[in-house]
Structure 1
Amino acid sequence: MAVLGATAPLSQAWAADRPVIAFTWDDLPAHAALPPGVTRTQVATDLLRASAKAKAPAFGFINGVQTEREPGSGAALTLWRQARQPLGNHTWSHPNLASLTPEQFTAEIARNEPMLQALMGDQDWRWLRYPFLSEGDTPEKRLAVRGWLAANHYKIASVTMSFGDWAFSDPYARCVAKGDQAAIAQLEKIYLDGAAAVADRSRDMAKTLYGKDIPYVLLMHGGAFEARMADRLFQLYQDKGFGFTTLEKAESHPFYRTDIDPSLPPEPTTLEDALKAKGLPVPPLPIDLKTVSEMCR
């Protein structure tokens, strides 16, 4: 395999015995629909229990507006902190930067901060996960927001592994309501097969670029189907040889350096964009989310 040089030298310290994943959980405390009889606190409890069993750190990203839309859901955030897991900023109401001015978007970030300060105390909560992973529709907008992030001591939570888990929770809730066990079993299979195939895809992209693994940051969402599948998902990654790490440790790798320091000129911090920047083909996403979205309608 031809190995292409990285923008920054890859640290020898990351020549680990096995690949590692940092799990990150978006849309807390309330992602997507709930099946009948399931609560937000139960979802958080199940996610945290499975994470503890797998010894997998669980970095959560919050949308504060959900505590207003679903009164009582904030208890899930309290559970997260009681489990000594960190929380970061996913903006107040999950807007797409492409539809806002930089000033409107940074106001969305700032509006989340009092809640984060109350939950996190003196621990580091200044991590941003962009909603929709969108840094805007113009270079000027991207740079303006990154300048604000740098001035306010934020780091950006990149994503280098994602299999579209967000697409499963609404269909799952519909299938539970209908009592369609066959459809639920199909969702489970698509989910686990997709996670396995995407893990291989991310590793292949990293090895095309650098000849070795980098620490991967996995995008997940705090929904009911994710809670149902958490034990099996952690086991799948363990069976494939992955270990688990923190977001901070994963992003200490040079690949993520311009997201750790947003004042730097931005470089690609997804594997797909890194391949595109070098004129290399991006492998297709090996999961059919359209089929998932139509289930149990």
Structure 2
Amino acid sequence: MKAWIALTAALLATPAAAQDVALTFDDLPVHADLPAGETRLGVLARIVGALADAGAPPSYGFINGGGQAERGGAEALRVWRAAGHPVGNHTWSHQRLTEAAGFEAEVVRNEATLKALGGDWRWFRYPFLDEGATPQLRTAARRILAARGYRVASVTLTFDDWAWNGAYARCLAKGDTAEVARLEAGFLAAADDSLTRAKAMSRQLYGREIPLVLLMHVGAFDARMLPRLLALYRERGVRLVSLPEAMADPFYKDELKAAGTPAPATLEDAFAARGLAAPPTTWSAAALEPVCG
């Protein structure tokens, strides 16, 4: 722990070099409950607008095609694509991977929607980031993805942004503006801490800062906070890059081939592979569950 604290302190004291980060968004077009007056189309439009204002490159949105059935879902996907942002496969209905045949059916069923939206859509992200409970299931899923030409979209930067969306909807319903302000501050603090943590982990493992792939979601609170989050990243020396550009780094080489590796390409798993304990996080998704409950 002392070594970790010293490394983090040294990183913070070092003049900030550009840190490449690829923005990715899961659960298009439907994620979390919406506050009163919000729409799926409105959420996606605000996210698209924030990305444009920040000059972000095309950012992958991983879709569950079944979400189109919700009012405004299909139109929201068209808005995303019209803005030049590509889509990838997140399965049809966001089912957890429990057996290979059902997993393949979910992947294949989603492809008609992806083809209709166009672009380079052969990128895949696992629902719940769950790659299977056994090595055999993980290998079977990877073989399915490789046979269908997919690359796996890694996640090396996350602060559990999804957990703020439910709390935000509940607080708005109660008219608790003070708690909303606390949620805003906590969201930005978690994002800042997660970036510092990932950079320090990368430097400890590899002596350099690898390009990071950030996981976000298309929730109402994400849409509210995205302009401030991107401004924070600019202050921290982040350079926004595309997913293919970030994952061209050697760290991700097996994901690009959907290779049957024993563990996902995450910094936490890289720590575990070396027998090291990953540093603790400063945020807690569970702590948000009772907020405005």
> TM > 0.5 between the two?
yes
Q: Aligned equivalents of 1:17 and 1:197: distance in 2?
A: 17
Q: Which residue of 1 aligns with 2:209?
A: 213
Q: Aligned equivalents of 2:193 and 2:175: distance in 1?
A: 29
Measure how far apart 1:101 and its partner are.
1.2
Q: Which residue of 1 aligns with 2:41?
A: 41
SS at structure 2 position matched to 1:288? coil
Deviation per residue, 1:34-80 (Å, 9 max, x gap): 01111111101110111111122321000111112x13311110000
Q: Aligned equivalents of 1:263 and 1:228: distance in 2?
A: 37
Consecutive unaligned residues of structure 2, counting only runs of 5 or more, are 4-15
Partner AA of 1:114 in structure 2: A
Q: Which residue of 2 aligns with 1:64?
A: 65
Q: Which residue of 2 aligns with 1:76?
A: 76
Measure how far apart 1:110 and its partner are.
0.6
Q: Aligned equivalents of 2:254 and 2:262: distance in 1?
A: 6
Residue from 231, 235, 239 that aligns with 2:235: 239
Q: How does 1:114-193 map to 2 (within 5 A)?
A: 114-120=112-118, 123-193=119-189
Q: Aligned equivalents of 2:139 and 2:157: distance in 1?
A: 24
Q: Contact (CA 8 Å) 2:157, 2:213: kept in 1 or not?
A: yes
Q: Contact (CA 8 Å) 1:150, 1:262: kept in 2 or not?
A: yes
Q: Contact (CA 8 Å) 1:258, 1:266: kept in 2 or not?
A: no
Structure 1: 4+ residue segments shifted above 6 A: none
Q: Contact (CA 8 Å) 2:39, 2:72: kept in 1 or not?
A: no
Deviation per residue, 1:168-220 (Å, 9 max, x gap): 11111111111110010010011000000010000011001011100000000
Q: Which residue of 2 aligns with 1:285?
A: 281
Q: Aligned equivalents of 1:290 and 1:132: distance in 2?
A: 15
Q: Which residue of 1 aligns with 2:94?
A: 94
Partner AA of 2:279 in structure 1: P
SS at structure 2 position matched to 1:161? coil
What is the TM-score normalised by the length of structure 2? 0.92
Q: Contact (CA 8 Å) 1:32, 1:223: kept in 2 or not?
A: yes
What is the number of residues matched between the two proteins? 279
What is the TM-score normalised by the length of structure 1? 0.91
Deviation per residue, 1:111-168 (Å, 9 max, x gap): 1000000001xx2101110011111011011111111111110000000000000001
Q: Contact (CA 8 Å) 2:139, 2:260: kept in 1 or not?
A: no
Q: Which residue of 1 aligns with 2:11?
A: none
Q: Aligned equivalents of 1:112 and 1:254: distance in 2?
A: 29
Q: Aligned equivalents of 1:217 and 1:38: distance in 2?
A: 28
Q: Contact (CA 8 Å) 1:88, 1:116: kept in 2 or not?
A: yes
SS at structure 2 position matched to 1:212? coil
Measure how far apart 1:268 and its partner are.
4.3
Partner AA of 1:118 in structure 2: A
Deviation per residue, 1:77-101 (Å, 9 max, x gap): 000011010000000111111xx21
Measure how far apart 1:285 and its partner are.
1.4
Q: Aligned equivalents of 1:104 and 1:239: distance in 2?
A: 44
Partner AA of 1:85 in structure 2: H
Q: What fraction of aligned residue pairs are identical, expressed as a percent?
A: 48
Partner AA of 1:93 in structure 2: S
Partner AA of 2:64 in structure 1: N
Q: Aligned equivalents of 2:258 and 2:41: distance in 1?
A: 34
SS at structure 1 position matched to 2:72? coil
Partner AA of 2:63 in structure 1: I
Q: Aligned equivalents of 2:71 and 2:42: distance in 1?
A: 15
Q: Which residue of 1 aligns with 2:199?
A: 203
Q: Which residue of 2 aligns with 1:11?
A: none
SS at structure 2 position matched to 1:26? strand
Q: Aligned equivalents of 1:243 and 1:280: distance in 2?
A: 29
Consecutive unaligned residues of structure 1, counting only runs of 5 or more, are 3-15
Partner AA of 1:82 in structure 2: A
The answer to whether residue 110 in structure 2 is matched with residue 112 in structure 1 is: yes
